[in-house]
Amino acid sequence: MRGVKPTDLLVNRSAAQRGPGQSSKQTSECIRTINRAIVPAALARSELPSDATLAETLQVGERTVRAVRLDLLGLNRHELKGWCRKSRSSQDVARPAERELICVTPFAGVWLLVPQLLASGLVKTADQLKIIGRTRVRGLQVVLTLMAWAALGFQCLYHVDDFRDWADMGLALFTGALHLWSDTTLWRWVHGLTPDSAAAFYRVPVGRVLGQPGSRGRFSLDDHAVPSFTQLKPRRLGKTRVPTRGRSYPAFRLYAPFDLDLGRFAGVIVRKAREALSQTVPAALAELRLLRHHAGVAEPDQVRLILDRGAYKGRLFETLMDAPKVSFIAMARATQVNVRQWEALTDSDFQPYQPAGDDNPNLKLGLAHTRIKDCRHPIPSVVIRDDTPNTKQRWRVLFYKNPPGRRPRREAIDAEYRQRQNHEMGFA
d(CA 363, CA 411): 12
* Same domain? 351 vs 403: yes
Digit-coded pLDDT (tens) for 400-420: 999 888 888 889 999 999 998
Helices then strands, each counted (H, E), the chain:
16, 13
CB 358 within 8 A of CB 302: no
Task: Say what the pLDDT of residue 20 is.
Answer: 57
Classify residue 256: in a domain, yes or no.
Answer: no
Residue 130: CB atoms within 10 Å? 17
* Same domain? 77 vs 126: no
Show the DSSP H helices in 49-182 as ranges.
51-58, 62-67, 77-91, 114-120, 122-126, 139-151, 160-165, 169-174
Q: How many domains does the chain have?
A: 3
User: Which one is predicted more confidently, 305 or 1?
Assistant: 305
Cα–Cα nearest to 334, from 385, 402, 277: 385
Give me the amino acid identity at 276. Answer: A
Last residue of a domain, one of 45, 62, 91: 91
pTM > 0.85: yes or no: no
Classify residue 177: in a domain, yes or no.
Answer: yes
User: Which one is predicted more confidently, 408 or 239?
Assistant: 408
d(CA 132, CA 394): 58
Classify residue 86: in a domain, yes or no.
Answer: yes
* Same domain? 113 vs 186: yes
Task: Say what the pLDDT of residue 30 is.
Answer: 80
| CB-based burial, 62-88: b 16+ in 10 Å, e otherwise | eebbbebbeeeeebeeeebeeebeeee
Last residue of a domain, one of 177, 193, 209: 193
Cα–Cα nearest to 62, from 78, 44, 49: 49
Domain that holds residue 51: 28-91
Digit-coded pLDDT (tens) for 380-389: 999 999 999 9
First to last CA, the chain: 106
Digit-coded pLDDT (tens) for 245-276: 666 777 778 888 999 988 888 888 888 878 88
Classify residue 375: in a domain, yes or no.
Answer: yes
CB 81 within 8 A of CB 48: yes
Classify residue 367: in a domain, yes or no.
Answer: yes
Q: What is the CA radius of gyration of the chain?
A: 38
Task: Say what the pLDDT of residue 181 is.
Answer: 76
When mean pLDDT is compared across 131-135, 253-257, 368-372, the lowest value belongs to: 131-135
User: Which one is predicted more confidently, 374 or 77?
Assistant: 374
Task: Say what the pLDDT of residue 7 is.
Answer: 43
Digit-coded pLDDT (tens) for 33-75: 877 777 777 777 677 778 788 888 887 888 888 787 777 666 7
User: Which one is predicted more confidently, 24 or 277?
Assistant: 277
Classify residue 41: in a domain, yes or no.
Answer: yes
pLDDT tier, 378 (very low <50, low <70, confident <90, very high otherwise):
very high
- Strand, coil or helix: 250: strand
pLDDT tier, 4 (very low <50, low <70, confident <90, very high otherwise):
very low
Query: In the chain, what percentage of residues exceed pLDDT 90?
Result: 24
User: Which one is predicted more confidently, 425 or 309?
Assistant: 309
* Same domain? 83 vs 132: no
| C-alpha to C-alpha distances, 377 to 264, 284, 291, nearest whole angstrom | 33, 23, 30
Give burial (CB, 10 Å; 0-12/13-18/19+) of 160: buried
Give burial (CB, 10 Å; 0-12/13-18/19+) of 327: buried
| CB-based burial, 103-118: b 16+ in 10 Å, e otherwise | eebeeeebeebeeebe
Classify residue 119: in a domain, yes or no.
Answer: yes
Angle, helices 28-43/51-58, rounded to nearest 10 degrees:
140
pLDDT tier, 200 (very low <50, low <70, confident <90, very high otherwise):
confident
Query: In the chain, what percentage of residues exceed pLDDT 70?
Result: 79
Last residue of a domain, one of 134, 167, 193: 193
d(CA 370, CA 399): 8
CB 374 within 8 A of CB 402: no
User: Which one is predicted more confidently, 325 or 116?
Assistant: 325
Classify residue 372: in a domain, yes or no.
Answer: yes
Task: Say what the pLDDT of residue 5 is.
Answer: 46
> Mean per-residue pLDDT for 278-307?
90
User: Which one is predicted more confidently, 421 or 100?
Assistant: 421
Q: Is the peptide bond before 40 cis (omega within 30 degrees of 0)?
A: no
pLDDT tier, 306 (very low <50, low <70, confident <90, very high otherwise):
very high
2: pLDDT strictly greater than 60: no
User: How many residues in the chain?
Assistant: 428
113: pLDDT strictly greater than 80: yes
